[in-house]
Amino acid sequence: MNRIDNDLLSVQEARILVENAREAQKTLAAFPQQKLDNIVGHMANEACRYAREFAIMSYEETGFGKWQDKFIKNIFASDFLYKKIRNMKVVGIIDEDKDNKTMDIGVPVGVIAALLPSTNPVSTTIYKIMIAIKSGNAIVFSPHPRAKKTTGKVIDSLIRTAEANGLPSGAIGYLRTMAASGTVELMNHKDTALILATGVPKLLKAAYASGKPVIYGGPGNGPAFIERSADIRQAVADIITSKTFDNGIVSASEQSIVVEECIADQVRQELRRMGAYFLSGEEADQLGKLFLRPDGSMNPEIVGKSAVELAWKIDIRLPENTKVLISEQKYVSDTNPYSREKLCPVLAFYVEKDWIFACEKCIELLVNEGRGHTLVIHSKNEKVIREFALKKPVSRVLVNTPAALGGIGVTTNLFPALTLGCGAAGGSFTSDNVSPINLINIRKVGYGVRKLEDITTTEQAIVSAKSSGSCILPKQLSPESTRDLQAVLEKLLEQLAQGTKP
């Protein structure tokens, strides 16, 4: 089959998938929360049952990371996630304020087009299906070509389970004929309501061009700042745990370490003790040349490889217990591979005079790449922690925790998510750890509680009080309006008595 035929078939398949999803979603939208939860619960059990098998398949197909850690992520995306969302109310009446006579009603957005990464294809697929169905939406996937076999098996497994438990046919689908044109058609289709993209930066421009709302989990370039008050041993242990988890392919994982000058030697010593290897300048240059392809995109040959495997690529033989490779750096630029995202156990190391200079270095790194994503700080100084939280252009500030695990909600109480919104700064309409709440529209209901005359009478009374100093209240005001107006008038009269201008 030639490329043109493949493109046309993919486009046609995308149209059929979205149209089927649209019809299925009409039925799904009428399901009560309890029925949706029952379907999601059965899918979670199925995904958990095959979590290990899917992890091994993913590793064998992509060559990225470690299957043992993918197994953990698959459990996280199924069993752990389900336990967190099973009591969430996201469709129907989700909130009611009887005192103020308002209600919030959760309404599914419709058909979601979902783009998947090659780095976390199984866990991200399970997660997206579960939050979509939980919120009453249909979802159609464009798998990553590098992980299409595994992704297809995961989706087929969950479709069988869901449909056996009442899900309308067509509510979950995926492109089998892989082509960029099919993915673009999927996003542009008039019945697609929202695009949920994780990774795949090459298709981001097309996603925005579709005119649809885009939730984008983009590249991370999160620095880890170790401040002088930190527990250095624990901070280093957290960073190494994070950066070696699935060989560093979680986008929230640390990409740089920034330390204060007064503790730099202690941090270096602790890193070496825990299995870090500091590259020489020449070694760093050699390795750095492997990070990026000529077009500036990440070289997949370094993604998810261990520190020992990476060292082999530049003819360095390191002990098998070597955990991470570190390059000492001074400057940040978009041409410096060490100041960008590195989806492997490699870290840049920056030394700054104090926390104020470190703060600026972290901002510099985030602006270079990873704006809106994640930052981690290790510190016992609450003032410094709050300064970092207030000033950094990120959506998540993690404190004293491994970033890869804290960012997705394993070691923190952030929502358990495998799509981390980067906010407007990062090209997404949300900065949340994406949850079912991000996949609904909230319809507001408000009962009448006052009349227009209540407002106009209040205004007239205030004008009268200013001119006469009188505090006589109109009889037609409600008790609530009377109390509010009484407070306003008393303040005005006090100001008038003191000779100050109201």
CATH code, 22 = 3.40.605.10
Residues 228 and 195 in one domain: no
Q: Which domain holds residue 404?
A: 223-411
In a domain, 416, yes or no: no
User: What are the tokens at 124?
Assistant: 């991200």
pLDDT value of residue 428: 85
- Three state DSSP letters for 120-184: CHHHHHHHHHHHHHHCCCEEEEECCHHHHHHHHHHHHHHHHHHHHCCCCCCCEEECCCCCHHHHH
Cβ contacts of residue 72 below 8 Å, gap of 6+?
A: none
pLDDT value of residue 424: 86
- Three state DSSP letters for 84-131: HHCCCCCCEEEEEECCCCEEEEEEECCEEEEECCCCCHHHHHHHHHHH
pLDDT value of residue 466: 62
Q: Quick check: 421 and 215 in contact, CB under 8 A?
A: yes
Strand partners, 107: 441
Residues 129 and 189 in one domain: yes
Residues 326 and 237 in one domain: yes
Residues 339 and 374 in one domain: yes
Residues 288 and 202 in one domain: no
What CATH number is given to the structural domain containing 320? 3.40.309.10
In a domain, 379, yes or no: yes
In a domain, 424, yes or no: no
In a domain, 67, yes or no: yes
Residues 170 and 250 in one domain: no
CA 234 – CA 365 distance, rounded (Å): 24
pLDDT value of residue 83: 97
Residues 279 and 238 in one domain: yes
In a domain, 242, yes or no: yes
Residue at which a domain ends, from 444, 461, 486: 444
Residues 240 and 200 in one domain: no
CA 451 – CA 453 distance, rounded (Å): 5
Task: Report pTM.
Answer: 0.88
How many distinct structural domains can be found in the chain?
3
Residues 185 and 328 in one domain: no
In a domain, 117, yes or no: yes
pLDDT value of residue 376: 96
pLDDT value of residue 501: 53
pLDDT value of residue 457: 73
pLDDT value of residue 37: 98
In a domain, 430, yes or no: no
Residues 149 and 33 in one domain: yes
In a domain, 262, yes or no: yes
Residues 23 and 141 in one domain: yes
Residues 166 and 210 in one domain: yes
Low-confidence ranges of the chain (pLDDT < 50): 472-473, 475
User: What are the tokens at 413?
Assistant: 């109480």
